[in-house]
Amino acid sequence: AGPRPLAGRRVLITAGGTIERLDPVRYITNDSSGKMGFALAESARGLGADVTLVCARTDGPPPPGVRVVSAESAEEMYEAVMSRVPETDFVVKAAAVADYRPARRQSSKMKKGPEQLTLELVRNPDILQAIGDWKQAGAAEGGAGRRTPFVVGFAAETGDTERYALDKLKRKRCDLIVANDVSQAGAGFGTDTNIVSVYGDEGLVAALPLQSKRAAADRIWQLAIERASSPAAP
């Protein structure tokens, strides 16, 4: 690969934590800062890619030189991603998507009531799974005239990382899974550094020791580019 191995390639990256609203002023979210997704976007841009960054709630502004699409909730992110997948070469799902959302969203501010309040939550669509299923359906039809993106998923775990990462890779049909043990200092949410393991079909591909998210992003792109262009890659 040359110095701009992603020139002419369309890259879609999701970043941040989704917001699942209860009413106009309250919501459920998570600790994702969006920093890993931003680092991946900046790195891809440096490698020449045409980058679309689908952002949920993030700390700080996205990097310059990329197309930013806001998607607050999991459902909005699903629409933003799935409508673009057919024209994408690489999808990187670094966002922390809420697994559940409130069953009902009140149109006006909820009032205080009895001492206890039970929130009912319903499952959100799994975007990564939907991409995997879409790829699978295309392959079953012979894949004629259809671009199938190389897909990188993320996994934040607090133990037994390898087992969960490989299970996720197979189930969601990703090409690579980047797993971090968010219980380790210097890894995961909010920090500027990360410690990750990258898994492919055959198991562990690379263990990246503590380093800046930007350096980790460069390594992840190197691995994705190598594997996407290798004839052995699925």
**Annotated active-site positions, please?**
30
d(CA 88, CA 76): 18
d(CA 166, CA 160): 11
Identity at 216, one-letter amino acid code: A
93 known ligand binder:
no
d(CA 229, CA 115): 59
Rounded to the nearest whole angstrom, what is the least distance from the CB of residue 164 to ligand C5P in the complex?
7
Rounded to the nearest whole angstrom, what is the least distance from the CB of residue 6 to ligand C5P in the complex?
20
Rounded to the nearest whole angstrom, what is the least distance from the CB of residue 15 to ligand C5P in the complex?
9
Of the pair 37, 46, the CB lying nearest ligand C5P is at 37
150 known ligand binder:
no
- The residue of the chain with the least Cβ separation from ligand C5P equals 127
d(CA 101, CA 127): 14
31 known ligand binder:
no
Q: What's phi and psi for 223, nearest 5 deg?
A: -65, -45
- Rounded to whole angstroms, what are the CA distances from 49 to 39, 65, 90, 95, 174? 14, 10, 10, 19, 20
d(CA 130, CA 216): 26
Of the pair 19, 127, the CB lying nearest ligand C5P is at 127
Give the list of residues 6+ apart from residue 189 with CB closer than 8 angstroms, or none: 30, 31, 32, 33, 96, 156, 182
131 known ligand binder:
no
Contact 205, 223 (CB under 8 A): yes
126 known ligand binder:
yes
128 known ligand binder:
yes
Of the pair 48, 79, the CB lying nearest ligand C5P is at 79
In the structure encoding, which two tokens stand for residue 69, read together? Answer: 């699409």
Of the pair 93, 173, the CB lying nearest ligand C5P is at 93
Which residues make up the interface to ligand C5P (CB under 6 A)?
74, 93, 95, 97, 99, 124, 126-128, 153-155, 168
Rounded to the nearest whole angstrom, what is the least distance from the CB of residue 146 to ligand C5P in the complex?
21
212 SS3 class: strand
Rounded to the nearest whole angstrom, what is the least distance from the CB of residue 97 to ligand C5P in the complex?
4
Of the pair 48, 100, the CB lying nearest ligand C5P is at 100
Binding residues for CTP: 99, 109, 125-128, 154, 168, 172
Binding residues: 99, 109, 125-128, 154, 168, 172
